Amino acid sequence: MQIRPATVADAGRCAEIYAPFVTNSWVSFELDPPNQAEIGRRIEQVLSSHDWLIADIDGEIAGYAYGSPHRTREAYQSSCDVALYVDPKFSRRGIGRSLYGSLLSSLKERGFHSAFAGIALPNEASLGLHQSIGFASVGIYREVGWKMGAWRDVQWLQLLL
Ligand SMILES: CC(C)(COP(=O)(O)OP(=O)(O)OC[C@H]1O[C@@H](n2cnc3c(N)ncnc32)[C@H](O)[C@@H]1OP(=O)(O)O)[C@@H](O)C(=O)NCCC(=O)NCCS
């Protein structure tokens, strides 16, 4: 497996990995899957300030992870949000852990001090991954989103880089 920075050329495959999580789960709070052009726009935007990394296995993109601003006011600039998506056919092979290992060290090198992840519950895999890396729970936003016919809670976790 190779972890490398994304380019806009990866947008189609990233959109393909992301779409089922949007359509069939509450893991993402988007309601309609973004198309390739929109993901390409997001990759370009993220690369201007944070990182978007790709896990490449023998030329196939197995997953991706990226950082983004936590909040926009200036004193928040040293904090970032992180997220990752791994194609289920590659799950539980250490890809998420490797992506985050590279992402978090790169964000630290860029000067970010604190990383946050918001996890819509239940999501045992994502909670397990973040906790195994050292993220600690901050608290739970109760009924902060409505998706797939139910109120959804989001647990926030934090890692000091
Ligand atoms: C969460 C996700 C990224 C994990 O990726 P992955 O490549 O399968 O994870 P890894 O193989 O690197 O697992 C690392 C650790 O995470 C934890 N973990 C992973 N999957 C788990 C599961 N299904 N249940 C419990 N813990 C799990 C374990 O501690 C695991 O270590 P171990 O295998 O040595 O026990 C992946 O399941 C995914 O893309 N899920 C849907 C999208 C999503 O929820 N993204 C996060 C949004 S905040």
Taking the centre of ligand 1 as the mean of its atom positions, its distance from the CA of residue 97, in whole angstroms, is 8
**Atom in ligand 1 nearest the alpha carbon of residue 85:** 39
Of all atoms in ligand 1, which is nearest to the CA of residue 92? 11
C-alpha dihedral (34, 118, 51, 14), degrees to nearest 10:
-30
Q: All domains of the chain, ordered by start, with CATH?
A: 2-160 (3.40.630.30)
- Cβ(23) – ligand 1 distance below 6 Å: no
Q: How far is the CA of 91 from the centre of ligand 1 (A)?
A: 7
Peptide bond into 122 cis (omega under 30): yes
Per-residue pLDDT of the chain (161 residues; tens, 9 = 90+): 999 999 999 999 999 999 999 999 999 999 999 999 999 999 999 999 999 999 999 999 999 999 999 999 999 999 999 999 999 999 999 999 999 999 999 999 999 999 999 999 999 999 999 999 999 999 999 999 999 999 999 999 999 99
